[in-house]
A = this chain, B = another copy of it.
């Protein structure tokens, strides 16, 4: 008699032509073509439920706290009193959840182009999307570029929590967009965006950084390690009109139930390895 084993199901994310990261899959929960992209929700053995857009892992139950805490708490604690925050992209709700932990928050606006992402997050990723039902949150199903252009002097913090700069997200990395964000921010507003891996995306990171730097008087990159983003060493770039993220007083930061972020890490994350310093020093906006 032949023993029948369970099907051995794997998903892989391709990172450039020469690297693939394979995850063992417990269950394929959803797979559909939305108006904008291919949306997949997997339950993986290693990372739990996992949102995949156009083949790229966006967020997983197990490691999402690293990315979401780092993209949110660094700019929000740099601002002395963030009340009104805009998130571009981020339809999974993880950034919104972290923003709502700040007691000064009065309004959070989420501009997500694909309502199917929000629907999938509500259905399959309740731990991540929980904040989306908060009464302080307004979801706008619209193009983030258009939404930002319609506002001026409106937000304390704008967070661009976007996919990689391919396909529909390309415009979210252009200088016109960063200028538009500058105008949509209040006089002491702060921008932060996820800006890819300074290890794996050395072809595009310097240009992105330079385009942000061309717009904001204070521009700084900080790093973390995201286990499910190929490249692993991951960057965020903060552009600020007045407040320098390195000027915060760590002792003033309250405890908000962090799992990754700490006041000391807020400052340490801005200390870059030499090769990243050099990558940025050569940056030109049009590259």
Given A66-B273, A233-B225, A275-B260, check contact A22 B19 (CB 8 Å). yes
CB atoms of A275 and B262 under 8 A apart: no
CA distance A74 to B45 in the complex (A): 36
CA distance A272 to B262 in the complex (A): 8
Interface residue tally on A, bucketed by range: 35 or more
Question: Closest CB-CB distance, A205 to chain B, in whole Å?
Answer: 14
CA distance A66 to B276 in the complex (A): 12
Asked if A32 is at the interface (CB within 8 A of a chain B CB), the reply is no
Asked if A274 is at the interface (CB within 8 A of a chain B CB), the reply is yes
CB atoms of B23 and A22 under 8 A apart: no
CB atoms of A271 and B265 under 8 A apart: yes
List 29 interface pairs A-B (beta carbons < 8 Å), by A numbering: A16-B46, A17-B24, A17-B45, A18-B23, A18-B24, A18-B46, A19-B22, A20-B21, A21-B21, A21-B22, A22-B22, A63-B199, A65-B275, A66-B273, A223-B225, A225-B232, A227-B232, A227-B233, A258-B274, A259-B274, A259-B275, A260-B273, A260-B275, A261-B273, A261-B274, A262-B271, A265-B271, A267-B271, A268-B271
